[in-house]
Structure 1
Amino acid sequence: MSAERSVFARVLANAGTLLGGRTVNAIIGLAYIALTARGLDPVRMGLLYLITTFAQFLGEVVKFQSWQTVLQYGAEPLLKQDRRTFQQVVRLSLFLDLSSGLVGVTFGVIGALAFGSLLGWSKDMAPAAALYALTIVVMTSATSVGLLRLFDRFRYLAGEQAVSSMVRLIGSAIAFWQQAPFWAYLLAWAAGPLAAFLYVGVIAWRELAQRGLTDGFRLVGPLGKDLPGVWKFAWATNFSSSLDVAFTHVITLSVGALLGPAQAGLWRIGRQVADGLAKPARLVIPALYPELAKLRALGGDAAMRKLARQVALLGGAVAGLLLLITWLFGKPLLGLIMGQAYVGAADVMTWQVTAAAIGILALPLEPMLVSMRAAHLALRVRLVVSAIFLLALFPLVSSLGMNGAGAALVGAATAMAIGMFLTLRVRLASSGQPDENEASCAEDANDAKGDR
């Protein structure tokens, strides 16, 4: 088996491992949500969703994608057995996690206490919401995830969300059995992300220790020194992720503001089904990043390009299949999953799946840019596309309703794919072609590693 084929097979195997974990998590998740819904009345269930969504949104917005820093700046020193530099990368990543966590907790607590009435809960619920906001500090931690991806330990990552959901299920079951009040369910839901944080943290530290990478490690020391461009990279990946989260929520809020809550509900349901259909393909992304980082560290630009082409071809096949399923079975699928009352979301779901398919087709473009430490260029594309999208969104929704929102989403996905493709072409051209010896060296190194 060639080195490139070996890498591609490993990407697919790791994505499959993550998919298995997500499937288990989805089943457990439905169970704890069902128990909670039966233990609380609809009003308090809604409050639980509002509080947890508020904390999750803040966590995602302030979160540095520190796992990206671990991969892109840690792969080379790991392969070269440069322990001092690798430990510096880990120390910087931990600093990013802690800093963003503290910022998120501060905004979360203040927001929950001062603006609860605007966010949907009363003054007597504000202390509970503020306490739940403390979980933001574990939501923003991604160093352990980055280490496990770098070490190719995806089987442990597959269990991360399942651990969180299992803890929530146990806590919700106890609360339901004891007919406990609202705060007990909130506590059970808070325990989930804490358990997942401890789970990946302990395993990541064990993996570090087994490789001798904890010897002499200090929390205090140099951060960005001798890591060229690391701060620019960290901020670019942070802003890009925050923009992606905001992008998702803005369109739902806009539909609700212009067309009413019922239409917003149909839009959200269609989006959930579309995202669910696209999820298996998107799981290739976290499996792709560490392989690209390692190939770059070995100087294998040619191998990086070949891997990206292989992923793009696979993405194209998946995208075509998704569109075919939606066009043929969209309404029956919605009726089966959500009930006949929601089949009205089928038309807009076609737009949403089309946008998701375009994103899948362009799946390797942004990871390639990030792996070439050009995250700032990917961010630039996102900023331009998002600005144009926001300018077009309100007129399109006002004149065409949900079809206008769908058209805007497809247009944004198309513009994002074209923008990333053109930017990557320019970046590859400016980086120059690798010579054959360099590519051969990368292939030999990967071949020596073999499949794990």
Structure 2
Amino acid sequence: MSVEAHHLPGTAGLRRRLAVNLAWIGSSQAVITLLGLASLALTARALGPAGLGVLAFIEAYARMIARLVHPEPWQALIQHGTRALERDDAGRFGQLVWLSLLADLLGGLLSAGIGLLLAHWVARWLQVASDHEQLLMLAAAATLIAPRPTAMGLLRIYDRFDLLARIDMTIALLRLVLIALIWSMGMGLAWFVALMVVWTLAENLVPMALALREMRRRGHAVRSASVRGILQDNPGLLRLFVNSNVNVTLRQMRQRLDIILLAGVLPASALGLYQLARRIGDAALRIGRPLTQVFMPEFARLAAREEFGTLRRLVLAGSLGLGVVLLVLLVPLARGMDRILPFLFGPAFADAAGTVNLMAVAMALYMASMSLGPALISLGRDRAMTVISAVTTLLFFAMLIPAAWIWQAEGAAAAHLVSNALWLAASATVAWAALGRSGGHGR
């Protein structure tokens, strides 16, 4: 993304930024997905099913703890940092960056500390080998230095989606090369965990170094200040920081706990059909989720300038545009799903067509709502967004087990569909009410 594009007048600059940033996000995610599949294939060949399972557990252990105890500050940084830059307040912007880095530092310390403390007890509970306990500790230690959320916030504020995409694609390519080298040399599990540590550190340190370089290039600098003073100068910052992270955690609970709960209800064959539908849905979401990264800084700019008419049109275009595109894609696929699934995955998955179609509609509703989350945050409705996420998550889990008990895998997929539809309807109602009021701010 060129620096000049940020200064194009009116909607011309906005459309150009969106087009270029979406192109970078979409193409990079496609490349990273392909490189990741190649890395997975080589890792599976090197370790076998058992070793791959242990590696997956070690990585999930470190990432799960980091997700729970290291809240990410990038949304708050984008929202309030954009306001500061729109008002030419470089000093306040530098203080916000400092506070964001401080949050990442404390989050990394907490994540690594808890991971190291729990590694022994987790290893004993699961009765794993002693060397696996050491690998758990190594993976946990890798989360100590984790400034990536701040780096992502800075690069998105500066419209450097191109730089972030290049970084992630390069790291993914180097990871594939190193995995191929380890595989060719016949190395074991410990080498793959060591590579995971190197990869984790690179994902954090490289973007941060380039983000700080971008700051210097634009005449900005990190400025230390008291936390209380920064919070007083930026009303709503702490509330947004808490609500945005609670919202993400609530939404992810549906994607992480459902399999565990359903394992006690569904027979293995039905659980396999549901898992296939989930994996297909997750693949679509991997492409759609980065859209929020593009929407967030643009919505924050429009809200800071009080250009609510443009913001309203952009939110509507984002929701309806994604909805129409997905409808055009899903209808022909749904009609031939009973033939597509056996061809791709084998005859045993022919009965998954109904479950996959329900999950596809659920994911379509989720993607149609992707412009609403950034809009609610930009309009100061983060508290309402968190309440909506909490209520729809509770309803999802209340529906999940009874629906699966009665309708098996299709019932579980239907629970996703209903909860996503409710989230879309409630979020759209709140966003439109906020946009209809003058000013559009407040709770």
Q: TM-score, normalised by structure 1?
A: 0.89
| Equivalent of residue 111 in structure 1, options 118, 130, 135 | 118
Q: Contact 1:64/1:238 (CA < 8 Å) preserved in 2?
A: yes
- C-alpha distance after superposition, 1:100-125 (max 9, x if no partner): 22222233223322123545744441
What is the CA distance between 1:4 and its match in structure 2? 3.4
Displaced runs of 4 or more, over 6 A: none
Q: Contact 1:150/1:290 (CA < 8 Å) preserved in 2?
A: yes
Show the counterpart of 2:431. 424
Alignment of 1:80-119 (within 5 A): 80-118=87-125
| Equivalent of residue 175 in structure 2, options 162, 168, 171 | 168
| AA at the equivalent of 2:223 | F
Q: Would you say 1:402 and 2:409 are equivalent positions?
A: yes
Q: Contact 1:75/1:297 (CA < 8 Å) preserved in 2?
A: yes
| AA at the equivalent of 1:346 | A
| AA at the equivalent of 1:94 | L
Q: 1:158 to 1:407 in 2, by over 3 A?
A: same
Show the counterpart of 1:362. 369
| Equivalent of residue 158 in structure 1, options 152, 165, 168 | 165
Alignment of 1:412-451 (within 5 A): 412-432=419-439
Show the counterpart of 1:43. 50
| Gap regions ≥5 residues in structure 1 | 435-452
- Tell me the distance in 1 between the aligned counterparts of 2:194 and 2:230: 36
| Gap regions ≥5 residues in structure 2 | 1-7
Shifted more, 6-15 versus 226-235: the winner is: 6-15
Q: 1:209 to 1:352 in 2, by over 3 A?
A: same
Show the counterpart of 1:217. 223
Alignment of 1:11-26 (within 5 A): 11-26=18-33
- Give the SS at the match of 2:148: coil
- Tell me the distance in 1 between the aligned counterparts of 2:100 and 2:410: 42
| Equivalent of residue 292 in structure 1, options 288, 296, 299 | 299
Q: 1:142 to 1:3 in 2, by over 3 A?
A: same
Show the counterpart of 1:374. 381
Q: Contact 1:60/1:245 (CA < 8 Å) preserved in 2?
A: no
Show the counterpart of 1:383. 390
| AA at the equivalent of 1:362 | S
- Give the SS at the match of 1:136: coil
What is the CA distance between 1:308 and its match in structure 2? 0.9
Q: 1:185 to 1:335 in 2, by over 3 A?
A: farther
Report the RMSD for the aligned CA atoms in angstroms: 2.4
| AA at the equivalent of 1:297 | A
What is the CA distance between 1:240 and its match in structure 2? 0.7
Q: Contact 1:319/1:358 (CA < 8 Å) preserved in 2?
A: no
Alignment of 1:68-83 (within 5 A): 68-83=75-90
Shifted more, 193-202 versus 8-17: the winner is: 8-17
Show the counterpart of 2:5. none
Alignment of 1:53-72 (within 5 A): 53-72=60-79
Show the counterpart of 2:191. 184
Q: 1:142 to 1:300 in 2, by over 3 A?
A: same
- Tell me the distance in 1 between the aligned counterparts of 2:9 and 2:237: 33
- Give the SS at the match of 1:104: helix
Q: Contact 2:273/2:409 (CA < 8 Å) preserved in 1?
A: no
Q: 1:219 to 1:186 in 2, by over 3 A?
A: farther
- Tell me the distance in 2 between the aligned counterparts of 1:427 and 1:119: 50
- Give the SS at the match of 1:370: helix
- Give the SS at the match of 2:159: coil
- Tell me the distance in 1 between the aligned counterparts of 2:321 and 2:210: 32
- Tell me the distance in 2 between the aligned counterparts of 1:391 and 1:130: 36
Q: Contact 1:316/1:361 (CA < 8 Å) preserved in 2?
A: yes
- Tell me the distance in 2 between the aligned counterparts of 1:427 and 1:12: 27
Identity of aligned residues (%): 24
- Tell me the distance in 2 between the aligned counterparts of 1:159 and 1:227: 33
Q: Would you say 1:275 and 2:272 are equivalent positions?
A: no
- Give the SS at the match of 1:304: helix
- C-alpha distance after superposition, 1:128-163 (max 9, x if no partner): 112111223455730000110010011112134323
Q: 1:98 to 1:431 in 2, by over 3 A?
A: farther
Q: 1:218 to 1:159 in 2, by over 3 A?
A: same
What is the CA distance between 1:433 and its match in structure 2? 7.4
Show the counterpart of 1:195. 202
Q: Contact 1:352/1:409 (CA < 8 Å) preserved in 2?
A: yes
- Tell me the distance in 1 between the aligned counterparts of 2:406 and 2:320: 37
- Tell me the distance in 2 between the aligned counterparts of 1:326 and 1:58: 38
Q: Contact 2:251/2:393 (CA < 8 Å) preserved in 1?
A: no
- Tell me the distance in 2 between the aligned counterparts of 1:414 and 1:229: 29
- Tell me the distance in 2 between the aligned counterparts of 1:170 and 1:71: 34
What is the CA distance between 1:56 and its match in structure 2? 2.0
Shifted more, 170-179 versus 86-95: the winner is: 170-179
Q: Contact 2:148/2:203 (CA < 8 Å) preserved in 1?
A: no
Q: 1:340 to 1:169 in 2, by over 3 A?
A: farther
Show the counterpart of 1:445. none
Q: 1:431 to 1:96 in 2, by over 3 A?
A: farther
- Tell me the distance in 2 between the aligned counterparts of 1:313 and 1:202: 38
- Give the SS at the match of 1:64: coil
Q: TM-score, normalised by structure 2?
A: 0.90
- Tell me the distance in 2 between the aligned counterparts of 1:246 and 1:399: 23
What is the CA distance between 1:206 and its match in structure 2? 0.8
- Give the SS at the match of 1:228: coil
- Tell me the distance in 2 between the aligned counterparts of 1:123 and 1:205: 41
- Tell me the distance in 2 between the aligned counterparts of 1:331 and 1:6: 45
- C-alpha distance after superposition, 1:41-70 (max 9, x if no partner): 221111001111222222233342311111
| AA at the equivalent of 1:159 | R
Q: 1:55 to 1:140 in 2, by over 3 A?
A: farther
Shifted more, 276-285 versus 333-342: the winner is: 333-342
Shifted more, 418-427 versus 407-416: the winner is: 418-427
Show the counterpart of 2:331. 324
Shifted more, 350-359 versus 136-145: the winner is: 136-145
Q: Would you say 1:251 and 2:265 are equivalent positions?
A: no
Shifted more, 351-360 versus 26-35: the winner is: 26-35
